[in-house]
Amino acid sequence: MDITDSHTHLDSAEFDGDREAVIERARAAGVTRMLTIGTGKGLEGSGRAIALAERYPFIWASAGVHPHDAGCDIDMSLFEERARHPKVVAIGETGLDFYRDWSPVNKQYEQFEAQIELAKLVEKPLIIHSRQAGEQSFALLKERNARDVGGVFHCFAENAEFASRLWEMGFYVSFPGLLTFKKAQEVRDICKAIPLEQILIETDAPFLAPEPHRGKRCEPAFVAATARRLAEIKGLSVEEVAAITTANTLKLFSLMR
């Protein structure tokens, strides 16, 4: 298989003891490309993600400020410098999170808007984190003309009609291991109604390990399990699903084959 993990956190401290082995297992499982997300503790995460991406030709990075960190003081000149790095292919994850009360709402809006404008400035797509804030996120993206750069709603948690509106604005949706959970039939039904041409797959590692790995630390190799479940939902072979979702990822992030 030629499969891509479009959203992982390889710089996480949970991988500090065996990061090389994690990457090797991913490659052995057919994961030919990985996008490690540069968020966490303000701009610290982007620095770690870029350093990791520089070491491997098959790993790319994003640069962003997570909504949980929206209250941090951000050096925007340094942020722009990192956003322009050749191994950085997206801005984010950024967005709104009204599920947890970890950053003031006004700060979340300010930082989200700033990152939309940064994405347009550097001409790179957005990776959106939206939790219990779908309509608010969509409204700001529309208001700020995010169609100019497009992007992806990662860990997609809205309905098929919402996905259709996103598609009209040039945004993909991404499904993690949640797609495999026994009690996630509603998510699978939504996924079935969304065209495969709009779908990416991800692990969000070290979180959301798919079946049969639930309860374990998630890692990029496990994206293959999500691909298999997506193939069952769409009535296709896992090879077809891997090829199409990889092509979608390459197109969105302007990656080379």
The string of pLDDT tens digits covering residues 35-70 is 999 998 899 999 999 999 999 999 999 999 999 999
Q: Torsion-angle region of residue 56: left (phi > 0), alpha (psi -120 to 50) or beta?
A: beta
Whether the CB-CB separation of 202 and 154 falls below 8 Å is answered with: yes
Q: CA-to-CA distance for 113 and 6, rounded, in angstroms?
A: 23
Enumerate residues 6+ apart whose C-beta is below 8 A from 80: 118, 121, 122
E runs forming strands in the chain? 3-8, 31-36, 59-63, 88-97, 126-131, 151-153, 171-175, 199-201
Write the pLDDT tens digit of every residue in 99-146: 887 889 999 999 999 999 999 999 999 999 999 999 999 999 999 999
Report pLDDT for 126.
98
What's at 130, amino acid-wise? S
Encoded amino acid at 160, one letter: A
In this prediction the pTM is 0.97
CA atoms within 13 A on the CB side of 146: 33
The string of pLDDT tens digits covering residues 203-228 is: 999 999 999 999 999 999 999 999 99
Q: How many other C-beta atoms lie within 10 A of the C-beta of residue 70?
A: 26
Q: In Å, how far are 76, 91, 129 from 111, measured between CA atoms?
A: 11, 12, 12
* Domains present along the chain, CATH in parentheses: 3-253 (3.20.20.140)
Classify residue 159 by burial, with Cβ atoms within 10 Å: 0-12, 13-18, 19+.
middle
| CA–CA dist 225, 166 (Å, integer) | 26
Angstrom distance (rounded) from CA 219 to CA 232? 22
Please give the structure tokens belonging to residue 66.
């997570």
- Give dist(CA 133, CA 72) in Å, integer: 21
Give me the pLDDT at residue 102, please.
86
Question: What mean pLDDT comes out for the span 85-89?
Answer: 98
